[in-house]
């Protein structure tokens, strides 16, 4: 056995003391006692699958003053995330085969974690050309950062059909653009008025009417939507900012994001629903904008908050406080995204890739943006309690040790890797 990792293993939602044996990058055995050439004994610390973030914006190409794959993946790794799916609203957008191939070439060799690339197009022919290399199709029903938009039922239906024929997962930004009002908002409350929950409800209602079973609804902000998606056979994704921040957070333009932060009661209801397992996946919607851009007056500041590095640490500290079961977190952050996007990760099980994260429940710290790794230079969670991973393995390779990066940029595109 190449490596044995011993500690409190999270298996089927329960913690039990045991050993994970690793050979050729995969989990080859899970037993109470195992012998191995190299051993890492982490004692009472928690050993769980590393997370997969199905929704990040790493900004390459075109906006690399905000982020790129080097810094974005470094942030992911420090946050216990070893697979990310990057969104297509870059400049130029990932909306045609040529741009996708350029992006693949550009990011190759620069990522510390495995990744997949989403595409966006309303042209079936282009989707055909991109499908072999794409992690999924993203549909924007509401305008947001970038110029991608498709809010027409006929076109959405056609693209979903095409994606299904090509066996390509579909994720939707579900805010009905026709229910979003233009104009200058000057506060989080006004931003919420311009992008009301009804825009989200209606987009999801329309998807349900289109019989879009199998489609994933991104960054759900309301607990009602988790019920609507489940009833329609769609999956759902919730983001840390909608679980932890609301219109009362006092962040001003720092809290400007699409869909918007909702009122405190709605946020609490969303958290409770996620904690009982109603959300399929957790996705950070890591949308870094530079600290100087976010410092603009509210109307001019771009929408989006960073989150890939703080997602698991914040949720692990919520687990520690008893607000969320660890098994539920592991299901939505690790197992569910891996299953949905066909990556053999996300569970401590023989045959899975050895992507593991070790957390020490006795070592929590407060978030200090100056110690995070995104280029954006700020965090909406400054000062909050967080439990960062002490150790991260990816494909059996030690990528992070004692909370510090120690690996190389060995991240692969999930469409290239022979997993
Ligand atoms: C995202 C961004 O900045 O790319 N912004 C955001 O507010 N979430 C785009 C998006 O996902 O809507
Ligand atoms: Zn997004």
* Catalytic residue selected from 285, 360, 413, 416: 285
The β-bridge partners of 27 are: 22
Within-domain flag for 42: yes
Here the CATH number for the domain that contains residue 69 is 3.20.20.140
- Strand order from edge to edge, sheet including 235-238: 51-56, 81-86, 114-119, 136-140, 170-173, 216-217, 235-238, 281-282
Q: Are residues 192 and 54 in the same domain?
A: yes
Residue nearest ligand 1's atom 9 by CA? 145
pLDDT tens digits, residue range 7-55? 999 999 999 999 999 999 999 999 999 998 899 999 999 999 999 999 9
Distance, CA 89 to ligand 2 centroid (Å)?
A: 9
Which of 258, 247, 219, 250 lies closest to 235 in space, CA to CA? 219
Quick check: CB of 239 below 6 Å from ligand 1? Answer: no
Helix (H, G, I), strand (E, B) or coil at 99: helix
Q: Is the CA virtual torsion 361, 362, 367, 373 positive or negative?
A: negative
pLDDT for residue 237: 98
Residues 63 and 174 in one domain: yes
The answer to whether residue 68 sits within a structural domain is yes
When pLDDT is cut at 50, 70 and 90, the band that residue 410 belongs to is very high
Task: Out of 340, 362, 395, pick the residue that ends a domain.
Answer: 340
Closest by alpha carbon to 78, among 396, 368, 417?
A: 368
280 with 156, same domain: the answer is: yes
Does residue 323 share a domain with residue 256? yes
For residue 15, what are the domain limits?
A: 3-48+350-405
* Residue 298 sits in the same domain as residue 181: yes
Question: Could you give the CA distance from residue 118 to residue 89 in angstroms, rounded to a whole number?
Answer: 9
Tell me the pLDDT of the chain averaged across its residues: 97
Task: Over range 252-270, report the average pLDDT.
Answer: 98
Place of tokens 């992690």: 135
Percent share of the chain, pLDDT over 70: 100
Asked whether residue 277 falls in the same domain as residue 324, the answer is yes
d(CA 133, CA 371) in angstroms, rounded, equals 34
Q: For residue 84, give the DSSP letter.
A: E
Note whether 293 and 254 are within 8 A (CB).
no
Residues 285 and 394 in one domain: no
CA 29 to ligand 1 center in whole angstroms: 41
Query: CB of 303 closer than 6 A to ligand 1?
Result: yes
**Global pTM value:** 0.98
User: d(Cα 11, Cα 29) in Å, to the nearest integer?
Assistant: 13
Ligand 1 lined by 285 (C-beta under 6 Å): yes
Among 5, 7, 43, smallest CA distance to 23 is for: 5
Question: Are residues 225 and 355 both part of a single domain?
Answer: no
- Which of 340, 370, 386 represents a domain boundary (last residue)? 340
CA atoms within 13 A on the CB side of 361: 15
Q: How many domains does the chain have?
A: 2
pLDDT digits (tens, 9 = 90+) for 357-369: 999 999 999 999 9
- Site to probe by mutation for ligand 1, drawn from 257, 307, 308, 374 as the one with most ligand atoms within 8 Å of Cβ, is 257
| Residues ≥6 apart with Cβ < 8 Å to 416 | none
Q: In the block, which residue shows the tokens 């879009």?
A: 212
DSSP letter string over 233-299? T-EEEE-HHHHH--TTS--GGGG--SSPP--HHHHHHHHHHHHTT--SEE---B----HHHHTS-TT
The reply to whether 323 falls in a domain is: yes
CB distance 258 to ligand 1 below 6 Å: yes
User: What is the total residue count of the chain?
Assistant: 419
285 in active site: yes
Are 100 and 12 in a shared domain?
A: no
């Amino acid at each position: 056995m190449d490596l044995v990792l011993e500690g409190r293993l999270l298996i089927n939602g329960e913690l039990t003391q045991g050993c994970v044996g690793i050979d050729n990058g995969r989990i080859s055995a899970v037993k109470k006692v195992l012998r191995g050439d190299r051993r890492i004994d982490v004692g009472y610390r928690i050993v769980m699958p590393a997370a997969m973030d199905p929704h990040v914006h790493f900004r390459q190409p075109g906006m690399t003053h905000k982020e790129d794959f080097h810094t974005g993946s470094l942030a992911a790794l420090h946050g216990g995330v070893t697979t990310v799916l990057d969104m297509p609203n870059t400049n130029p957008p990932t909306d045609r085969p040529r741009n996708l191939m350029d992006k693949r070439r550009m990011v190759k060799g620069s990522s510390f974690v495995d990744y997949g690339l989403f595409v966006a197009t309303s042209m079936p022919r282009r989707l055909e050309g991109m499908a072999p290399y794409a992690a999924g199709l993203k549909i924007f029903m509401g305008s947001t950062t970038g110029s991608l938009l498709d809010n027409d039922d006929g076109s959405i239906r056609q693209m979903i059909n095409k994606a299904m024929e090509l066996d390509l997962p579909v994720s939707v930004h579900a805010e009905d653009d026709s229910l979003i009002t233009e104009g200058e908002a000057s506060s989080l409350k006004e931003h919420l008025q311009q992008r009301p929950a009804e825009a989200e409800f209606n987009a999801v209602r329309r998807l349900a009417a289109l019989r879009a079973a199998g489609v994933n609804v991104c960054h759900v902000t309301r607990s009602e939507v988790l019920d609507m998606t489940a009833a329609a056979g769609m999956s759902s994704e919730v983001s840390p900012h909608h679980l932890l921040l609301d219109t009362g957070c006092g962040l001003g333009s720092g809290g400007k994001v699409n869909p918007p932060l909702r009122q405190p009661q709605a946020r609490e209801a969303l958290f409770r629903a996620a904690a009982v397992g109603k959300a399929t996946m957790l996705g950070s919607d890591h949308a870094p904008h530079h600290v100087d851009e976010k410092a603009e007056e509210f109307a001019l500041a771009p929408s989006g908050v960073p989150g890939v590095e703080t997602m698991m640490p914040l949720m692990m500290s919520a687990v520690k406080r008893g607000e969320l079961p660890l098994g539920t977190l592991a299901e939505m952050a690790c197992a569910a995204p891996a299953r949905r996007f066909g990556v053999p990760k996300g569970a401590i099980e023989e045959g899975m890739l050895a992507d593991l994260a070790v957390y020490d429940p006795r070592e929590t710290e407060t978030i200090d943006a100056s110690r995070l790794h995104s280029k954006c230079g700020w965090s909406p969670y400054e000062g909050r309690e967080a439990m960062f991973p002490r150790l991260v393995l990816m494909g059996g390779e030690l990528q992070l040790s004692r909370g510090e990066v120690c690996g190389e940029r060995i991240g692969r595109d999930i469409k290239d890797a022979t997993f």
